[in-house]
């Protein structure tokens, strides 16, 4: 299981690609299972020959022959975006992307109506934007919570009558609340989803048992634990459980367990508004894969925040090891925050107590970091010591060939 222990963008995609290239316990990886989020992910994988793809819904191991993708019931699936992504993968040399994809029939659909409503709400917030990706994922989750029986699901793509009723009701409810929305007619959406259902394999929950029986599987998370819908710094969070909880549920149902790999980069970053205690605009860093965009805003850089990442580890229930990325970006200018001016550790609160999380957010915006200097060649040991967790994999560049297992690592399953 792979999860980001920050605000996202730490390099989950390149780590998943490495796992799929390397194999697990000497066996080839057979599938990547996506266990949260939706089309707002952007897990960039770069191959040594220069090919590149930002994986949104397909698993980040898709460049590796034979590695399939399964979108679990915890995903919010956007069929129109999937079609665009499949086209890009095919152009990049991935044969028959849809033929290597299975989708749980119970997964929610993100539709053009959700996307339009998402953007309308974010625009209405003005200067108080939450930093949405503008993809409609949160809107789909909110609609499901309010109207669980009426929320469109992947299985409905096989039944145009049911899907049409759900889409019309969704459109009418959102229009009554927000006014006219720039989205296609229901008939056009139905035609697109019928075409989608004809080319993908829609399965039930038992399919995951077959995948796990066939060989090693990588569970790929999206976004980061510090954005978790219940334990993140509300309201600057995602409508998704970004811890290992969904993957744990899927594995328990299938009678399996898995190692936990947390991903961190040597700088703590954030795309869009919200707390970033260690932000330093003087850091000479850029990220070509994360430009400023009209929905999330600018990509922000801060020094490594060990306090925030300790909190993520506690919220996630710990990991077996850390994959530390962007070691090629370390310099004497980069420091580590080892404490805040008021604490050295953030304690997780009760599940679902968003008032507490919002109060924590307000305090974090007024927090001063306490730093220590790290020599460029000491980062691996410093991170392992600060987080009391072994660093088992390091990344010194964008490709799988830039990854290294740490020489002091014990011999668990990640090999």
Residues making up the chain, counted from first to last = 415
- CA–CA distance, 104 with 109 (Å, rounded to integer): 11
- CA–CA distance, 402 with 396 (Å, rounded to integer): 5
Q: Which helix (H) or strand (E) holds 204?
A: none
Q: How far is CA 370 from the centre of its chain?
A: 29
> How many Cα atoms within 13 Å fall on the side-chain side of residue 272?
22
Q: In terms of Cα–Cα distance, which of 204, 33, 16, 11 is closest to 107?
A: 204
Q: In terms of Cα–Cα distance, which of 72, 412, 56 is closest to 247?
A: 72
CB atoms within 10 A of CB 292: 10
Catalytic residue among 4, 9, 78, 104: 9
9 is catalytic: yes
Bridge partner list, 24: 27
Cα dihedral value 155, 36, 292, 85, nearest 10: -40
Catalytic residue among 43, 70, 144, 326: 43
Q: Contact, 292 vs 372, CB < 8 A?
A: no
Q: In terms of Cα–Cα distance, which of 81, 78, 58 is closest to 139?
A: 78
4 is catalytic: no
379-387 vs 306-316: helix crossing angle, rounded to 10: 50
3-state helix, strand, coil in the chain (%, to 5): 35, 20, 45
Which segments of 315-409 are extended strands (E)? 321-325, 335-340, 369-373, 391-395, 403-405
Q: In terms of Cα–Cα distance, which of 300, 306, 304 is closest to 281?
A: 300
- CA–CA distance, 112 with 167 (Å, rounded to integer): 10
**Buried (b) or exposed (e) across 334-346, using 16+ Cβ within 10 A?**
bbbbbebeeeeeb
Which residues does the annotation mark as catalytic? 9, 43
């Amino acid at each position: 299981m792979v999860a980001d222990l920050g605000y996202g963008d730490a390099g989950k995609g390149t780590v998943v690609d490495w796992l799929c290239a390397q194999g697990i316990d000497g066996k080839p990886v057979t599938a990547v299972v996506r266990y949260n989020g939706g089309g707002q992910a952007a897990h960039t994988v770069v191959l040594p020959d220069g090919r590149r793809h930002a994986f949104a819904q397909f698993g980040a191991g898709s460049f590796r022959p034979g590695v399939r993708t399964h979108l679990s019931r915890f995903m919010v699936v956007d069929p129109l975006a999937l079609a665009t992504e499949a086209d890009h993968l095919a152009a990049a040399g991935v044969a028959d992307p849809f033929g290597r994809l299975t989708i749980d029939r119970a997964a929610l659909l993100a539709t053009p109506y959700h996307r339009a409503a998402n953007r309308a709400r974010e625009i209405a917030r003005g200067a108080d934007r939450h930093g949405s990706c503008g993809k409609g994922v949160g809107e789909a989750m909110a609609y499901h919570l309010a109207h669980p029986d009426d929320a469109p699901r992947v299985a409905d793509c096989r039944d145009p009558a049911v899907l049409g009723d759900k889409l019309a009701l969704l459109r009418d409810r959102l229009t009554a609340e927000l006014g006219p929305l720039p989205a296609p007619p229901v008939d056009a959406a139905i035609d697109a989803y019928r075409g989608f259902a004809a080319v993908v394999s829609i399965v039930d929950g038992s399919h995951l048992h077959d995948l796990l029986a066939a060989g090693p599987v990588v569970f790929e998370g999206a976004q980061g634990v510090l954005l978790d819908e219940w334990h993140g710094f509300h309201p600057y969070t995602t409508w998704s459980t970004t811890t290992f909880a969904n993957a744990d549920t899927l594995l328990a149902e299938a009678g399996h367990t898995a190692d936990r790999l947390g991903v961190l980069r040597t700088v703590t970053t954030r795309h869009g508004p919200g707390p970033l205690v260690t932000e330093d605009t003087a850091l000479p860093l850029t990220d070509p894969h994360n430009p400023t965009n009209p929905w999330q805003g600018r990509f922000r850089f801060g020094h490594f925040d060990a306090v925030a990442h300790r909190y993520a580890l506690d919220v996630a229930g710990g990991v077996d090891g850390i994959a530390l990325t962007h070691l090629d970006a370390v310099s004497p200018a980069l420091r580590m925050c080892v404490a805040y001016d008021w604490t050295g550790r953030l304690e997780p609160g009760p599940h679902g107590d968003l008032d507490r999380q919002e109060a924590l957010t307000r305090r974090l915006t007024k927090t001063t970091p306490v730093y220590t200097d790290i020599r460029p060649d000491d980062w691996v040991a410093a991170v392992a010591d600060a987080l009391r967790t072994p660093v088992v994999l390091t990344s010194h560049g964008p490709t799988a060939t830039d990854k290294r297992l740490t020489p002091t690592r014990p011999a668990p399953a990640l090999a």
